[in-house]
Amino acid sequence: MSEFKPETKCLHSGYTPSKGEPCALPIYQSTTFKYDTTDEMGALFDLKAEGYFYTRLQNPTNDAVAAKIADLEGGVAAVLTSSGQAANFYAVFNICEAGDHVVAASTIYGGTFNLLSVTLKKLGIDCTFVDTDASAEEITAAFQPNTKVLFAETIANPALVVLDIEKFASVAHAHGVPLIVDNTFATPINCRPFEWGADIVTHSTTKYMDGHAVQVGGAIVDSGNFDWDAYGHKYHGLTEPDESYHGVIYTKQFGKKAYITKATTQLMRDLGSIPSPMNCFLLNLGLETLPLRVERHCHNAQKVAEFLNSHEKVTSVNFAGLQGDKYYSLAQKYLPNGTCGVISFELNGGREAAVRFMDSLKLAVIATHVAASITMVLHPASHTHRQMNDEQLLEAGVSPGMIRLSVGIENADDIIADLAQALENA
């Protein structure tokens, strides 16, 4: 449905009912699918036919939602996972193995930082972190002969650094590696990284795509633009026979869908991490209203950011919608319609003032979540980034007193009134 606008795609992509079929996406709540002959089932296992036989690999509900997200991002294919963490793990692990190396922006979500710096290291994959604002030359210096991926976030969580996608894409492609961008905060409503040179996009669908905090999920979308065969010596998992699937060569058999097909048939087969059909159904409901909610989140966040920026007890506000923000010009380039509903700020008094402020809130909810319909607040140093020491916190763009505020879709005046009364006690 490439001819339609995102608002229309959110409602119609992925599932088109035929005569007499339900208008709402059906929930195929089944592990198993029936066939009439042995050969029919065998062709599916040989990847010589399309169809469903076991939900760990494919499910009609899940695939419809994946197709919608792929269409929204402008990709050729997508796969859904059981969480955003699983999406980022699969996205990297699909093309990396023991002995390989990753370069990543340092100002990324704490869980992803830990995934790349600790967990993947246990699997023999090393990672070098670079300042997101570093020059192309400085990023280039982090590359090694065995580097396979450059990874970053469109809008960093929670530092709210806006990525210069073209700069990162240029460096990645100069070294013959793909750029993977986590587009969770921006969503494809406000930014489509493929249009700026990114090759693979990931999402925590738990966030804005869901919007109601009712399902945990992730997505990986492939642009189909990276030429894996041109660098076959690096990405032999895609360009050489996979003996676990009768010698199939993914790039030869599946073309531009090779990367997603391998992630589905190999990683999902061996590691699982699938979302349930029910969760995908709930995600689809969230996607239908995504454009409306994102617009409201951005509108409210702009008003809240302006209020905080003018308050005497607030020492700093990070929100790229403010003209004085360091990333304002990049946001105007990549996210002209708005960034997201998340703001980070710091109060006079640092960590202690942050705790007093949060404990005084009446409308906003203290929760380890973000991008839901209701306003939520978090102290990253105590919560999401708790595993980091102070040095790592600063490297990730998180000061000990930083407060992350996820502005909801309530009336903006009510949100501001709640913040104002809490600030009196900070």
Instruction: Determine how many CB atoms are found less than 10 A away from the CB of residue 123.
Output: 12
Half-sphere exposure of residue 307: CA atoms within 13 angstroms, side-chain side: 19
- Across the range 180-193, mean pLDDT stands at 98
Given strand 179-182, what is the order of strands in its sheet?
A: 77-81, 218-222, 200-204, 179-182, 147-153, 101-105, 126-130
**Tens digits of per-residue pLDDT, 132-168?**
999 999 999 999 999 999 999 999 988 899 999 999 9
Query: At 401, is the pLDDT very low, low, confident or very high (cuts 50, 70, 90)?
Result: confident
Region of 255 please: left (phi>0), alpha (psi -120 to 50) or beta.
left
Q: Judge whether residue 383 has pLDDT over 70.
A: no
For the chain, the average pLDDT equals 94
CA distance 74 to 13: 12
Closest CA to 95 of 135, 125, 53: 125
**What is the pLDDT, as a whole number, of residue 351?**
81
Closest CA to 330 of 138, 130, 167, 129: 167
Q: Judge whether residue 397 has pLDDT over 70.
A: no
The CA distances from residue 282 to 218, 276, 368, 369, 400, in Å, are 13, 10, 20, 17, 36
Query: At 314, is the pLDDT very low, low, confident or very high (cuts 50, 70, 90)?
Result: very high
Helix (H) or strand (E) holding 345: strand 342-347
Whether a cis peptide bond, with omega within 30° of 0, leads into 6 is: no
Range list of H helices, 78-217: 84-93, 110-114, 120-122, 136-141, 165-174, 187-190
Task: Please report, rounded to a whole number, the percentage of residues in the chain having pLDDT higher than 90.
Answer: 84
- Across the range 13-41, mean pLDDT stands at 93
What is the Cα 13 distance to its own chain's centre? 20
**What is the pLDDT, as a whole number, of residue 384?**
65
Residue labelled with tokens 């670079």: 130
CA-atom Rg of the chain in angstroms: 22
**What is the pLDDT, as a whole number, of residue 147?**
98
CA distance 244 to 391: 44
pTM for this entry: 0.95
Measured CA angle at 405 (ends 403, 411), to 5 deg: 150
Q: Judge whether residue 422 has pLDDT over 70.
A: yes
Q: Judge whether residue 19 has pLDDT over 70.
A: yes
**What is the pLDDT, as a whole number, of residue 388?**
75
Q: Write out the two tokens for 302.
A: 């702009």
**What is the pLDDT, as a whole number, of residue 391?**
79
Helix (H) or strand (E) holding 295: helix 290-309
Q: Which residues of 26-48 are buried (b: 16+ CB within 10 A; e: fewer)?
A: ebbeeeebeeeeeeebeebeebe
Residue type for position 65: V
